[in-house]
Amino acid sequence: MLKLWKWYQNCLALHPVKTQMISSGVIWGSGDIAAQSITRYTAKKYHQIKEEEKELKIDWKRVTTTSFFGFAIVGPVGHFWYKGLDQFIRSRIALRPNSSRFVGAKVALDGIIFGPLDLLLFFTYMGFATGKSVPQIKEDVKRDFLPALIVEGGIWPVVQVANFRFVPVRYQLLYVNIFCLLDSCFLSWLEQQEDAPWKQWLVSHLPGQEKKDQGG
């Protein structure tokens, strides 16, 4: 394991973008395999699949699609985002590195900009990759984006505080991608829920939503 870690460090030093892309692709693909296993287990537990379909069969096309999202989007975008975010706060806002205000600013900007954009790209990309039309993708985004953003908004800031406080910038995307193994499972489960009542409940309790509903 130590040799593998040293090999990764060497690759990251020599080819940072390529290494981030490949590692992101592998991790997101692995996350999708785990997500499919959890989704199948949940469906089997609640008798939502037929008897002849109970044996797990990995959808390798979906794994490849998800892996490509990690490789082509998360890897390069994440690399330049975390590197640029650190440089921006150091030079423009002039906060002392690793101070509470420095970490707080990074967490806030990451949650406001990168988090929502990443979710939007994920749902849009997966929609096109599975052959859905633009109207279908819009409906999926409308159904899943806000519930995902609300739930993840309570988790990722905690994850990122530790990331931005203790993890060197060059390893921050790797740290995030490891947690994306769990996030991929959550997003897969979220999509399976379709129009679940809890999604509608979450959205209906957003500030200003009640007035909007009453006005409608």
Please report, for the chain, the start and end positions of each structural domain, with discontinuous segments joined by +. 16-48+60-206
Give residue 79's pLDDT.
92
Furthest C-alpha separation in the chain: 63
Give residue 155's pLDDT.
87
Helices in the chain by DSSP H: which ranges?
Answer: 2-14, 16-45, 60-69, 75-88, 100-109, 115-129, 134-153, 156-166, 169-193, 197-204, 209-215
Report, as ranges of residue numbers, the positions in the chain whose pLDDT lies below 70.
42-56, 188-203, 205-216
pLDDT (tens digit per residue) in 22-74 = 999 998 888 888 888 877 776 666 555 555 455 668 889 988 998 999 999 99
Give residue 206's pLDDT.
61
- Residue 19: CB partners within 8 Å, gap ≥ 6? 8, 11, 12
Q: pTM here?
A: 0.79
Give residue 9's pLDDT.
92
Closest CA to 105 of 117, 92, 118, 121: 92
Cα separations in angstroms, 47 against 42, 54, 64:
9, 9, 28
Task: Give 15's DSSP letter.
Answer: -
